[in-house]
Structures are given as C-alpha cells and as structure tokens.
Structure 1
Amino acid sequence: MEGCVVLQVRDDVRLAMLEKRRYGVAVPTLPLLVAMLTVAVCLPLWRLSTCPGAAPDAALVAPAYLLLMPGNATSLPSPYPLHKLPPLDPHHLIDLRHFAFRFNNFPCNETASPLLLVLVHSAPDNIGKRRAIRETWGGRRDALRLLFLLGEVDGADQQLRLERENLVHRDMVQGSFRDSYRNMTYKHVMALKWAAYFCPGARYLLKTDDDVFVNSPALLEFLSQDLSPWGARRLILCVPFHAATVKRSYRSKWRVSPSEYPGRVYPTYCAGWAILYSPDVAFLLYSEAQRDRYFWIDDVHVTGTLAAKANLTQTDLGSLVLSYEQVRALEAGGNASDVGHFLFGAPNLELASIHRLWEAVEGRASIPPS
C-alpha cells in the first residue's frame, strides 16, 4: 500500500537512538520517551503527520526491542530456528504447495555476515529502476547485500530478458507465482523466506521498493552506530499507519470485500516502501504467514495482521524520512546537510530524482566498512 511521508522534523530521533545503543537493552520507543518528557510539545508534532488515520494516542503504545551488544549477542538463540518449520516448508509459500525459485542468487554465501540485506520489490518491466539503484545507493555491495524480487511473467521473450539481466548482475530472485499487484503478499513473504534460508547471518533486513531512495551511507552508519552493529531483536522500523479504515468503495484502488477482510479497521501496519526488520522478526512473520490465509495487501497483512499475531509492534521512523518538499530542495541543487540526518527519500520517485538525490548525498557521505 502506498505510504505517506512523515513531515515532522525532530532532532531528538538520533539522540534517543543513541541512548538505546548506549544501554543495549529493550527501552521504550522515541514517541513514548518524548511524550513522557514533553507532552505539551510532542502531541502537536505527532498531529503534523500526513498519514491518513494516524492517531496521536497510538504513538503512546511503546514497542519494546532489544539491541544486541557483546554481552548478550552470543547468549540469545538463533533468529532463524529452521528446525521448527514443517519438513515441506521449502516447497510451500503460504497457500502455494509447489513453490520454487525460477532463478536465484546467493550473495550471502560468504564468511562474513552482512550488516544489511536489502530486498527490493521490483516489477519485471522496471529495468530502468533496477539500473538506477545499481548505479546509485545500491552499488556498494561490499557494505550491503542487495536483491531484486520478481514473480513470473507471461511471455518467453520477457522471461529471457530477465534471465539475461540476471546473468549480468547476479542480483535477482524470481518466484513461481504470477507477478501482479494482488500477488504482492507472495513477493513479500518470499523475501522473508529467502532471508531465512539463504542469508541467516544478516544483522538487519530492509524491505523496500524500486522507486524509493535509500540514503545507504547514512543507513549503514545508523545501523552500526545509532543502533548496534551486532543487530537487534523484535525490531520493525517503519512509517506506521494507525487505525486505517478498510476501503469498501468500488471506486477505490484499495477496495477490500467483507469476505476478504471482515473488520472495519486495520491493525497498525507499516508503509511498505521502507521497512527495517531484525532477523528474528523476519522469521516470526514468515512463520505466521505460512500458517495464515492469504490477504493481498501485503503491508497490512505482513506488518499488521501477522505482526499482531506474533505480538510485535512498530517503531516510527519519524523525521528520518524526507518530505517531498525536502526532496525537491535537494533536487534543485541543495546540499544533503541542509535537511539534516535522513535515511529515506519520499516514495514514488522518478529515476532522475533518485540520481540527483544520490549526487547530493555523495557530496558529503562516506560508507563505513562492512
């Protein structure tokens, strides 16, 4: 589902994250901390959100997550207990009983565990968008691992083009389901499946789309310094929607029938264009998805319904997302330092915008070693 952009600008985001890193324990999220300290100031800031259905009171619900440190990183169980899955799980994807990867790649088959695994939802025809990501924020494969996720296509010629592209770049994964809008949940759960089976050592996972700008240097720095280079547990970092109403109108792109979803309000869920998972969360959501019925709006289903069943909550990205106004300012020749610390640009960007944002970031950014 299309995300909205959080407009509030708060310098205390990084400070709160630094406090979490310093103590290395599960602590309340930033919205709760700010509300406890300065309720009179914080609530108006939360009302500045452009998210439909966003409720200031929802910000007071505090997700708890754990940042790993040398003292606790080795004492916790594996985030991917594959032995708990059914024997036929490798061949199943939700209700697909004969699932397979039509082609696959294995960038994590190395001694060192990557800090960040990036899984990009991409449509088969979006060749230019994949090229733009490879040429900009996704190009440093020594610092992150990146894969584009696709489904099956209709024509043999289109399939051949995808296979040739994959032979050149070795960064694409194709699952045995039709690539269509109502099959996005298959693609999302396939991403979680791929991480569990083929990249269990990644400290963090980013699910994103191919029209999103990721400030990869800043994101890698944020993960290794503001959070923890050893990883985290029970972390879902995103732009959350609170109390969004289910669309019933036949004129709505997001119309959902009562038989598909009987409730009137969705649980809190993430805008799907940028979701940062800790690996244990990826496994928990994957396990729930394999047992649950299919629902086609993947943002709602995976980060809302399934997250609630797994007793997981979302942490707000807040001002770490650029507004469209800030994106336009950078496109017009502004310096990345003028907009402060950010991790993501607004979604639904044109290719030229992604290139210009990368040029703005390169003017001051340095990528830490993996």
Structure 2
Amino acid sequence: MLEKRLWSNVFFIWVGVLTCVLLWQIVQNPRSSQMHTVYTLYTQNYSRFSYPISQLPATDYNQLINLGFSFSVLNLVCNESKPLLLVLVHSSPKNFAKRRTIRETWGKNEEDVKILFMLGSVNSSDLQKTLEEENRLHNDFIQGSFLDTYRNITYKHVMVFKYAIYHCPQAKYILKTDDDVFVNMPSMKTFLSVDLSPYGANEVLFCTPRRNTKVLRTYRSKWRVSFSEYPNRNYPTYCPGWTLLYSPDVIFALYKEAQKADYFWIDDIHITGTLTEKIHVTHTDIEHLVISPKDLRSIVNDYSYNVSKPFLYGRANLNEKEIRALWKFATTHSPPRSIFKEFSRQTPYVIFVFKNTHLLE
C-alpha cells in the first residue's frame, strides 16, 4: 500500500512540474513558437443578426462617408439564398489576371459562398468598357461612383459594409480580402460551420493584428502621414486588410461609425484601428491559421505537400503560381473535420479558448 501511494505521489508531482514549466514558457514568451501559443479565439452570444437599417438616416444609401454615392455596377448575388460566407475582394480595375486567377481557383460562387470584386470608377472610357465586358461575362463586380485611387481605399472598404448591409443581409459571415490572397475555401467552410457556427456569430473580427505601429512621417514612404492627418505618434492596434473576417453586427457598428467619422485614407488603420476602438470590439488573432512560409515553399516549389498544420489563408501578396499551387493542394486534400481539433492534435500545447460561446440550433 505504501509503495502504491509513493508512486501516486510521484505521478502527481511530475504532472505538476510539467504544467508549471509549460505555463512559465507561455508567460515568458507567448509568441516564441507555435508550441506555446495561446489562442484566444472567441465569439460572444451566437445569434442570428438582423441589420437595424432603421437606425440609419433616410439618405444613408446614397452617402459614402463625405461623398454622394451610387453603385454604378451592382450584382445582386445573394437573392433568396442565405450564404454562409460573403467574400468581397478589393481589386484594382486593371488587375484582370488576378481576378481571373481567383475565379479559376478558390473564388467560385456556390450556394453557400458568394464572391464579388469591389472596384471604384475609372477615368478611361476604354477601360470602363473593358470592365463592363468582364462583368457581363462573370456578373461579379460591384463598382462605386468614387474614383479608384490609392487614397480612396477607405471608400472602398466602407462600400464593402454598405453592400453587405443593403444587398446581402442574409450572409452569416463577411470576408474582406484582396485580389492577391488565397483563401482555403474547403477549410474555411469547415471552420465557419463546425468550429464556429453555421448560424452566425457576434463580435467576430478575425485578423492578424499589428500593435504599437509608429506613424511614418518620412517623405520617402508611400505610407507617409502628416501631423494634420494623424497627430499621434503611434497607431492603435489594427489589422492589415488582406484578410478580415467580420460578423454582421461588427460590420454594422463599424459602418455607422465610418459614415459619420472624418475621412482617413489608410483604411486598415482607420476602420480596424480607430473605429474598432470606438465600438469596443476585440481583434482575434488568427496568425497561426495563415500558412507558414515553410509550408508555402513546400507546396509551391517542392510539390511535397509536407504541410505541418491546417491553414485558412495563404500569405499576403501571393503571385498566380502560388495561388494555383495552393488551390491544387486544397482540392486534393480533404479538409479536417474540425480545424481546431486537428490543430490541437498536431500541436498539443496549443490551447484554444472560447469565451461565452453559445451555438444556435
């Protein structure tokens, strides 16, 4: 009996030591490696959200921040469907090849996923005719009446919100992304419908946050911002706009703030930084659901498909070869039944924490 008690005590002591070591490593350096990353992916109060458009001014539809506005090209892809995901892709008018690559890979419209390209207006009548012909072939453009220029990107981002609110209110989730991005659509649908909820969620802003970023003042930088434009030394925590997964309630709250706020031309900082602070929504970091550089090289260059963990996105600024290679991988490998469970199985020290999660039936 004494020997059994001794071994029992040794076992519990050993478990306690291991637990303390793990917790110490997480506290000391939570981002040093994926083995010690604490995921705090959460959504609060799962619910079917209905946009309270009655809260908006009667003139809202024809206003975009400080501009009079109209949709010069408008495709109503949702109709009577209730898509799980609405994907609105920022695209420059001349990026014909990038749009073609997306259409031929991950960007195919399905019953549960609707994908559109977001553009502003152009000065060239010849270019506009070419765009209209492209739209006649694919019916996947949304074009706003503001000029499509670099410093007008915030108008385009808020147009994403406007379209979702007025023309696809049925969508459970909204993904804003760019035309040089890869979305692992089979895994994304699993992630939304299994790991989150097929009925939607509240307070979702999943992205790759940047913290304590200094405002650039040098004239050599295209990101230069003057003191009159932004007086503070650092930007608030914000998310690069290449991948932003929103829930409808966050879309609506940000839209209301954007429509009455002063214009700021860097949309990532303005919308996911300044305005997100105002509505008190927390950024959920999904950096480890972005494919690692090593895994990307394995797929694109080695064709070995020796991928270490599941992923929802390729990295930012991909070229056509990389997007097509990732799509080949995605369509020849079945997605895991649960992204989180698979991630936890492969990386046992990763902890996924859900707070106040209520799934709908």
TM-score category, normalised to shorter length: 0.7 to 0.9
- Partner of residue 92 from structure 1, selected from 58, 63, 87: 63
1:102 and 2:72 aligned: yes
Structure 2 Cα separation of the partners of residues 322 and 361 of structure 1: 12
1:44 and 2:29 aligned: yes
- Partner of residue 82 from structure 1, selected from 13, 37, 53: 53
Amino acid at match of 1:108: C
- The 3-state SS of whatever aligns with 1:106 is coil
Compare CA radii of gyration and give the structure with the larger one.
Answer: 2
How far is 1:365 from its partner?
3.0
1:213 and 2:213 aligned: no
- After TM superposition, the score normalised by the length of structure 2 is 0.83
- The 3-state SS of whatever aligns with 1:102 is strand
How far is 1:45 from its partner?
4.1
Structure 1 Cα separation of the partners of residues 268 and 50 of structure 2: 22
1:176 and 2:145 aligned: yes
After superposing the two structures, state which structure 1 stretch, 328-337 or 301-310, moved more.
Answer: 328-337
How far is 1:142 from its partner?
2.6
| Aligned position for 2:349 | none
| Aligned position for 1:65 | 43
Gaps of 5+ in 1: 1-33, 50-58
How far is 1:339 from its partner?
2.9
What's the C-alpha RMSD, in Å, of the aligned pairs? Answer: 2.6
Structure 2 Cα separation of the partners of residues 366 and 195 of structure 1: 28
After superposing the two structures, state which structure 1 stretch, 177-186 or 330-339, moved more.
Answer: 330-339
CA distance 1:48–1:294, shift in 2 (3 Å): farther
- The 3-state SS of whatever aligns with 1:233 is coil
Structure 2 Cα separation of the partners of residues 45 and 336 of structure 1: 28
How far is 1:48 from its partner?
6.0
How far is 1:166 from its partner?
0.5
CA distance 1:247–1:274, shift in 2 (3 Å): same
| Aligned position for 1:21 | none
Structure 1 Cα separation of the partners of residues 39 and 231 of structure 2: 25
- The 3-state SS of whatever aligns with 1:232 is coil
| Aligned position for 1:234 | 203
How far is 1:367 from its partner?
11
Gaps of 5+ in 2: 1-18, 338-361
Structure 2 Cα separation of the partners of residues 336 and 82 of structure 1: 47
Structure 1 Cα separation of the partners of residues 169 and 110 of structure 2: 17
Amino acid at match of 1:264: R
After superposing the two structures, state which structure 1 stretch, 186-195 or 135-144, moved more.
Answer: 135-144
How far is 1:340 from its partner?
1.6
Structure 1 Cα separation of the partners of residues 191 and 40 of structure 2: 21
How far is 1:326 from its partner?
2.1
| Aligned position for 1:316 | 285
- After TM superposition, the score normalised by the length of structure 1 is 0.81
